[in-house]
Amino acid sequence: MTDKKLLMGNEAIALGAMEAGVQVVTGYPGTPSTEALETIARYANRCGIYTEWSSNEKVALETAAGAAYSGAKALVTMKQVGLNVASDPLMSLSYIGVKGALVLLVADDPGPHSSQTEQDTRAFGHFANIPVLDPATPQEAYELTKLAFELSHEFEIPIILRTTTRVSHSCGDVVVEAAEPVPVEAIEEGFVKDRRWTIFPKLTAERHPWLESVQEKLSERFSELSFNSVAGSGKIGIIASGVSALYVKEAIEAVRGFEELFTLFRVGTVYPFPEKAALSFLKGIDRLLVAEELDPYLEEQALQLIGKAHLPVDVYGKKNGFFPVSGEYNVDIVIDSLNRALAAYGESLRLSHASPAVSREKLPPLPIRAPALCAGCMHRAVFYAFKQAAKQLKKESQTDTIFSGDIGCYTLGNAYPLNMVDTCLCMGAGISLAGGLYHTNPKTKQVAFIGDSTFFHSGIPAVINAVYNGANITLAVLDNRTTAMTGHQPHPGVGITALGNVSKAIDIADVVRSCGVEYVKIVNTVDPDSLESCIKAAKEAMNFNGPSVLVFKGKCVGITKPDKYYKINPEACTGCGFCIKELGCPVINLDGDKPVIQDNCSGCGLCAQICPSEAICIGGVKL
């Protein structure tokens, strides 16, 4: 029985996984992958699917691997930078293989919209010998998810389902089938002891030839699948995968009557490359245009095949400058690139843009919308407190302070006027960077900021390293009781699981004490008069000789409703603008020559605590 539903790509993946019989789902929240696990979590209790938000992607993959060793069908969700964290177990898993099925949803972020990198998971799959499927639409995402579980079980190897932001977050009609879920309790045999689960060098040497043979078999299989399709019969060949194939399709339609000049080879199973299907396509064309986001993966595969088969086909792609080598594509970018390639070949044919009546050069520039911490965010108060403490330290002892940030909402502490993030690399790295900076800049003070979820993700080993190697640093843990950056998912410190069940909450202060940190203090940021206590705590911790940790506890304003708000008393306000210059709160703006507080104030009271004329008060009436 089938049904048609309007689904986001991530939702389609979730339903495809459930139809495939997924029994264990793990992951770490990361845009643009998050909604896949969240969708499954809504059904998990009713369907008997074990689902968890893990402490990081490495742990998520290892947990899922254990389930797959036991015969379960498992899914792991992450974004492309999360794959870096999970890469250590994944590289070994390709040799060991699995017993049930193991699928990794890895969502790439061309642009990037919310990531540190633009890395291409297709290339990672090639490097790791892990098959990669690359859907272009929510319907394909649904179908390729089911195929991924089928292939993983048949070939006993992990499979990567690689999406991009425009596939994960786009919506479309998806024809789905009703299937009975397979609860985790239905696993019969379970884990069976076998030498194959222990990856010693001897086993690796034995399994490597098997792993290479699997790639050949899958290439043969992929060449027969409809996800690798050829449309058209022209001598101008175009190869594309993922959402880029849709951009090409729209660009070709813009030719208006000359569509027969083109042949499009749309690749849905990108690694191992479907050589037989590609060779059949290449023999029918005399020049090839390659449209793909990020790495020239398809271009390199095509060039190798053309060379091996000695085909007289000219290739136009990233390597010779006809397509952008980075960034997210769209229809207009693809049209421009196709036109450059056609002009270089001597074609007079010109593809028209999707909106020919509007010149992009004539469009007014978009207004600048710099990212900023939310109004009332507890992080702003902590940053401001450390800024004042650092000023006092500088005045008293001529000591400069370096502030190392991390990945999360608090990365925005780098913005004007706070300017409180001097370094930012990857999750958990702020603490380690501070340690490295201390050992090379011993006359400066090092302060690292990390969020509560990131602390559990990858901050703990860095704390241990700082203690072990005597790094004189101060760590500020910004505990707002949620994973705020990706949509307020729970984490080990909250005491709530992905399914909403109550569990043991792991106390951050207890953890750092167990790591050997001698100076640990909990600071409450909820109190509207907490700024002075935050400054005092920051200064005291920075003056401590050795690793020190302050755990700042508060609430994320994104999930709490304010019980009060602040206004500016115009009679008391002198128009000095100190509140704007110091804090950068998005609800405080100038109206003429005086600041005003908008109605969406979150009631933190930080501005009232710093106002030199005491003009800011609850409800606008001075108390």
Q: Which residues are annotated as a binding site for [4Fe-4S] cluster?
A: 573, 576, 579, 585, 601, 604, 607, 611
Q: Which residues contact 85 (CB under 8 A, 6 or more apart)?
A: 28, 56, 57, 58, 78, 427, 458
CA 214, CA 272: separation in Å to the nearest integer?
A: 9
Cβ-based neighbour number of residue 229 at 10 Å: 14
Three-state SS at 138: helix
- Give the Cα separation of 610 and 589 in Å (integer): 16
Q: Are 186 and 24 in contact (CB under 8 A)?
A: no
Q: What is the Cα–Cα distance from 478 to 552, expressed in whole angstroms?
A: 5
Q: Report the alpha-carbon distance of residue 107 to residue 91 in Å, rounded.
A: 18
Give the whole-angstrom CA distance, residue 560 versus residue 563.
9
User: What DSSP state is assigned to residue 260?
Assistant: G
As a whole number of angstroms, the distance between CA 402 and CA 542 comes to 11
Q: Which long-range contacts (CB under 8 A, 24 or more apart) does 302-306 make?
A: 302/239, 302/278, 305/273, 305/275, 305/278, 305/279, 306/282
Residue type, 537: A
CA distance 482 to 505: 12
**Four-point Cα dihedral 505, 511, 514, 516, nearest 10:** -170
Tokens of 71: 């015969």
Q: How far is CA 5 from the centre of its chain?
A: 26
Alpha-helical (H) ranges within 441-577 are 452-454, 460-468, 508-514, 531-543
CA 367, distance to chain mean position in Å, is 26
Phi, psi (degrees; rounded to nearest 5) at 75: -125, 135
Within a 10 A sphere around the Cβ of 621, how many other Cβ atoms? Answer: 8
Q: What angle is formed at CA 491 by the lines to CA 485 and CA 496, rounded to 5 degrees?
A: 125
- SS3 for 119? coil
CB atoms under 10 Å from CB of 571, counted, come to 7
Q: How many residues does the chain have?
A: 623
C-alpha 227/C-alpha 508 separation (Å) is: 48
C-alpha to C-alpha distance for 326 and 423, rounded to whole angstroms? 24
Which residues are CB-neighbours of 471 under 8 A, at least 6 positions away? 434, 435, 438, 439, 446, 465, 547
Would you say 100 and 67 are in contact if contact means Cβ atoms under 8 Å apart?
Answer: yes
Backbone angles phi, psi at 446, to 5 degrees: -110, 130
Q: Encode burial over 590-602: b for 16+ CB neighbours within 10 A, e otherwise.
A: eeeeebebeeebb
Measured between alpha carbons, how far is 314 from 602 in angstroms, rounded to an integer?
60
